[in-house]
Amino acid sequence: MALINLLTKKQIEVLQSYLNDDWKYLILNGAVRAGKTVIDNYLFLLELKRIKQLAEREKEPHPQYILAGYSSNSIYTNVISSIENQFGIVMKTDRHGHYHLFGIDIVPAYTGSVRGIGAIRGMTSYGAYINEASLATHEVFQEIVQRCSVGSARIICDTNPDIPTHWLKTDYIDNHDPKARIKAFSFTIDDNTFLSKDYVESLKAATPRGMFYDRSILGQWVTGDGIVYQDFNKDTMVIPRNRVPDGLDYYVGVDWGYEHPNPIILLGDDKDGNTYVLEDYTQKHKFINYWVKIAQNLQTRFGRNLIFYADSARPDNVNEFQANDINCINANKNVLPGIECVAKKMREGKFFIVDTAAEGLLDEIYQYAWDEKTGEPLKENEVRHNDRLDALRYAIYSRNVKGGFVPWT
Ligand SMILES: Nc1ncnc2c1ncn2[C@@H]1O[C@H](COP(=O)(O)OP(=O)(O)O)[C@@H](O)[C@H]1O
Ligand SMILES: [Mg+2]
């Protein structure tokens, strides 16, 4: 069968570079679902075969290789189970948690925190495959590089884009010094010709404009500029109460504050995934008893199971709610995935605010801007608040996030 039926053009380019170029680092970066991991999984198997022969020549009885990823979950999902599906090769861990293939001892390393180094400290590796490399702690990445001390050891990475000043971009991808022997390939979603046109079109249409689109569709290393919620449109998204359907799935977002405003925001979702912001109870300078009463009133109206997704930074307040039989749980506070989730609802026209609850939120939405240095929203100050937007994000994201790995952390 011709290669073009098995691989995309971009993947063939990568394969040719793998086979013919002199490289130490091969870095695939760019859009999501662009075909990076599929080809890297293939190269990983080729590397293991190459190392097997090398080790035999060097009479090394126990060659080792590092398989790195953000967490044990993400290594399993992105690499191990993909390899099972792609090639029908089943990989099982031994009692040390290592994998074995073609006579190579494959040692997993978790790059999300410095604790992930433990498994590889002191080891001598014939190479490394690093999945989702931009999410790696810099220290762990450097440790992996140092462990690859066998002369011919090579490192394969794939990664989604991050801020343009990220070390992986400045120190590696943009390093064109021939002595560094770095090959980098940049992918856009259109490089993946195995995805159906419909799928790609609807993914493009649903992706919030600005930073999220530029990164996940175009594969660019950019920060946001301007306001965060670019797809918000007051004319279509602020609606009178009588346009809200009855019988929604109700829930609440809470961001604790005393000197700062303390928002409690009631939301409801309909069966089609439309989200309605219904009531906004934001106040400053109120003690917890006041908030318990507000919450109990909401419970009376919407049932004892009404979930309050709250800021975990004040466990005392969360405890007080729970002690009063309020179904209060810690929200998922992941900033960028949370913002992306809310922005996506706006982009898809599935986000509405009832006019009586809109005033404070509109103020916040219009001054919620990106910090171009950090790639996150600008911090709060005397004139700029985003307390309501935090409560809104906690509620919507906690409600929608599926378990497991979330990128952009
Ligand atoms: N060579 C290929 N043959 C068949 N399907 C492919 C191929 N490359 C990619 N795909 C499809 O595209 C999806 C996304 O590819 P993946 O490599 O996981 O993207 P990325 O790592 O860039 O996010 C895969 O799950 C697979 O369905
Ligand atoms: Mg991938």
User: What CATH number should be reported for the domain holding residue 144?
Assistant: 3.40.50.300
Q: Does 346 reside within a domain?
A: yes
Q: Is residue 215 part of a domain?
A: no
Tell me which residues of the chain have a pLDDT lower than 70.
1, 403-409
* Cα 114 to middle of ligand 2, angstroms: 22
Question: The domain that contains 342 carries what CATH number?
Answer: 3.30.420.280
Q: Is 200 in the pocket of ligand 1 (CB under 6 A)?
A: no
Q: Using most ligand atoms within 8 A of CB, pick from 87, 194, 405 the residue to mutate for ligand 1.
A: 194
Q: Whose CA is nearest to atom 8 of ligand 1?
A: 35
Structural domain for 66, as ranges? 8-207
Of 207, 224, 254, the residue that ends a domain is: 207
Residue 1, domain member (yes or no)? no
Contact 227, 369 (CB under 8 A): yes
Helix axes 9-20, 36-57, angle to 10 degrees: 20
pLDDT score at 409:
30
What pLDDT shows up at residue 4? 79
Q: Is 37 in the pocket of ligand 1 (CB under 6 A)?
A: yes
Ligand 1 site, residue 35, Cβ cutoff 6 A: yes
Are 191 and 335 within one domain? no
Q: Is residue 227 part of a domain?
A: no
Give the span between the Cα atoms of 196 and 33, in whole angstroms: 12
Q: Is the CB of 216 under 6 A from ligand 1?
A: no
Å from CA of 245 to ligand 2 middle: 39
Instruction: Tell whether ligand 1 has an atom less than 6 A from the beta carbon of residue 7.
Output: yes
Nearest atom of ligand 1 to the alpha carbon of 34: 22
Do 30 and 178 share a domain, yes or no? yes
pLDDT value at residue 1: 66
The secondary structure of 137-193 as a DSSP string is: -HHHHHHHHHH--STT-EEEEEE----TT-HIIIIIIT---GGG-EEEEEE-GGG-T
358 CB contacts (<8 Å, ≥6 apart)? 238, 277
219 Cβ inside 6 Å of ligand 1: no
Q: Does 166 share its domain with 244?
A: no
Of 166, 191, 207, the residue at which a domain comes to its end is: 207
Ligand 2 centroid, distance to 83 Cα (angstroms): 13
203 shares a domain with 64: yes
Whether residue 38 has its Cβ less than 6 Å from ligand 1? yes
Is 82 found in the same domain as 118? Answer: yes
- What tens digit of pLDDT does each residue of 28-56 get? 999 999 999 999 999 999 999 999 999 99
Is the shortest distance between the CB of 163 and ligand 1 below 6 Å? no
Tell me, yes or no, whether 3 lies in a domain: no
Residue 112: inside a domain, yes or no? yes
Cβ of 11 closer than 6 Å to ligand 1, yes or no, is yes
Q: Is the CB of 278 under 6 A from ligand 1?
A: no
138 shares a domain with 41: yes
Measured by CA distance, the residue closest to atom 9 of ligand 1 is 35
68 with 199, same domain: the answer is yes
Ligand 1 atom nearest the C-alpha of 187 is: 22
Q: Are residues 89 and 162 located together in one domain of the fold?
A: yes
Structure tokens at 324: 């009063």
Residues 289 and 249 occupy one common structural domain: yes
Q: How far is CA 298 from CA 76, 140, 230, 349, in A?
A: 42, 47, 32, 27
Residue nearest to atom 16 of ligand 1 (CA): 35
| Residue 33 Cβ contacting ligand 1 at under 6 Å | yes
What's the pLDDT at 5? 83
Smallest CA separation from ligand 1 atom 5, residue: 194
Ligand 1 atom closest to the Cα of residue 78 is: 18
380 shares a domain with 240: yes
Whether residues 329 and 268 fall in one domain: yes
Please indicate, yes or no, whether residues 82 and 134 belong to a single structural domain of this protein. yes
**If you ran DSSP here, which 8-state letter would residue 80 be given?**
I
Whether residue 212 is contained in a domain is answered as no
342, 351 Cβ separation under 8 angstroms? yes
Pick the last residue of a domain from 172, 191, 207: 207
The Å distance, Cα 46 to ligand 1 centre, comes to 18
Whether 89 is covered by a domain: the verdict is yes
The residue whose C-alpha atom lies closest to atom 2 belonging to ligand 1 is 7
Looking at the structure of the chain, the number of domains it has is 2
Q: Residues 362-390: pLDDT tens digits? A: 999 999 999 999 999 999 887 788 999 99
